[in-house]
Amino acid sequence: MDDIKLEELLYRNVDQILPSNEDFLKLIKSGKKLKVYHGIDPTGDTLHIGHYSALMKMKHLQEIGFEVIIVIGGMTATIGDPDKLNVRKQLTVAQVEENSQKIKQQIQKVIKFEGSNPAKIVNNYDWLSKLNFEAVIKLSSLITHDQMIERDMFQERIKNKQPIYMHEFMYPLMQGYDSVELEVDCEVGGSDQLFNMMMGRNLLKKIKNKDKFVLTVPLLTDSEGKKIGKTIGNVIPFGNDVPYETYSGIMTLGDDVIIKCFVAITDVSLEEISIMETDMVKNGANPMVYKKQLAFTVVKEVYGENEAQKCQEEFEKTVQNKEFSEELKKEITLNANNTIFEVLKENLSDSFSNSEIKKVIEQNGLEINGQKVKELSTEVKSGDEIKFGKKTYLKVK
């Protein structure tokens, strides 16, 4: 790889590299076989484009010869990375394992596990579950309370006089120990994971006297600056069995994040992206054109060109031309109570709570036969076509 491509690797979709970009570049040019890992906690069964952003960086490192390791957080997910405001729900081992199997299939759409430089997937449950209490005490003795409490989310809890539980202190130690177990040269993760990744750098140095580089990718945020992910509830999935969810999710993003997403989650050249940006900012080009190109490109890279074409046609038909989708439409039958609220409760209870259904209706998210409806008591009759939100279509028999 020439120096220009290496420079792009180091700076494209990179927030920071610690201890320094220059030292990391020297290591890459040393000719040594280098190990890099990225961890994913299977707290849910679907990856989102925030994961995709980090996986794309892993893909690029794999392409220049790094040994790529994906760590499924089978043990860390049972605790969950501490949140600023609330204690995360602890999952059972069975729940984590079920999620893990689905996530592995999705990762394989980005990272290569065959060929001349195959990646591998490991599960930190395999080593963390074997640590006895004595080993955990020794590991804990390497980190001070003051170091742990520096984490921004713990500071936020203290500020809001909310409790911090002891098991939450264990999460950074557990994730940090992954670096020790794998003896990696580099770890890639979102910028919100910097504390945990630096914990791994600290422990690896103390236990194995080995240096580890930390590469963070910027968080993908929506137009309000909120992180796109499970915690906020604005997930845009990728890699599952419904490519249209990826396409339509990208189309809900604000115009101001189009360029950022092209940089983070596509292989489109920076030169071409720069032309797009100029076209929108200086020439007044319609951002919708480039947002559709972004959605098409991501779906094409993950699912293939045929699926991307289908998604684009579906979006143009159902959203831009406001037609009902025959593919996505679900046929339903009426029971005794035929008010729209009761019909939606009966047919959408697996996906929406009663309050969520009311909220969508209040926000003009309900149409019957192309007409906006806000009255919960509106009667539904045979032959009606119902559009609920942006992705739900019902046809009454």
Per residue, the 3-state secondary structure of 191-206, as one string, reads HHHHHHHHHHHHHHHH
DSSP letters of 289-311? HHHHHHHHHHHHHHH-HHHHHHH
Tell me what pLDDT residue 298 has. Answer: 96
290 and 363, same domain (yes or no) = no
Tell me what pLDDT residue 62 has. Answer: 95
What are the pLDDT digits (tens) for 161-209? 988 888 888 999 999 999 999 999 999 999 999 999 999 999 999 999 9
Question: What is the domain-level CATH number for residue 343?
Answer: 3.10.290.10
Total domains in the chain come to: 3
Mean pLDDT of 89-97: 80
What mean pLDDT value characterizes the chain? Answer: 88
339 and 312, same domain (yes or no) = no
247 and 294, same domain (yes or no) = yes
Tell me what pLDDT residue 232 has. Answer: 42
Between 231 and 47, the more confident residue is: 47
306 and 389, same domain (yes or no) = no
302 and 366, same domain (yes or no) = no
189: tokens are 């993760």
Question: What is the domain-level CATH number for residue 74?
Answer: 3.40.50.620
DSSP letters of 40-95? E--SSS--BHHHHHHHHHHHHHHHTT-EEEEEE-TTHHHH-PPPSSSPPPPPPHHH
177 and 49, same domain (yes or no) = yes
Does 235 map to a domain? Answer: no
Q: Which domain holds residue 69?
A: 3-217
What are the pLDDT digits (tens) for 287-296? 999 999 999 9
Of 295, 320, 345, the residue at which a domain comes to its end is 320
Does 377 map to a domain? Answer: yes
182 and 308, same domain (yes or no) = no
Helices and strands of the chain, counted as H and E runs = 18, 11
- pTM as predicted: 0.79
Half-sphere exposure of 365 (CA within 13 A, CB side): 16
CA distance 258 to 385: 33
Task: Report the relative pairing of strands 120-123 and 67-72 from DSSP bridges.
Answer: parallel
Neighbouring C-beta atoms of residue 177, cutoff 10 Å? 24
Question: What is the domain-level CATH number for residue 282?
Answer: 1.10.240.10
22 and 116, same domain (yes or no) = yes
Does 271 map to a domain? Answer: yes
Tell me what pLDDT residue 87 has. Answer: 62
311 and 392, same domain (yes or no) = no
Does 230 map to a domain? Answer: no
135 and 191, same domain (yes or no) = yes
58: tokens are 């892993």
Does 284 map to a domain? Answer: yes
Band (220; pLDDT cuts 50, 70, 90)? confident
Widest Cα–Cα separation across the chain: 74
Does 233 map to a domain? Answer: no
13 and 40, same domain (yes or no) = yes
Does 222 map to a domain? Answer: no
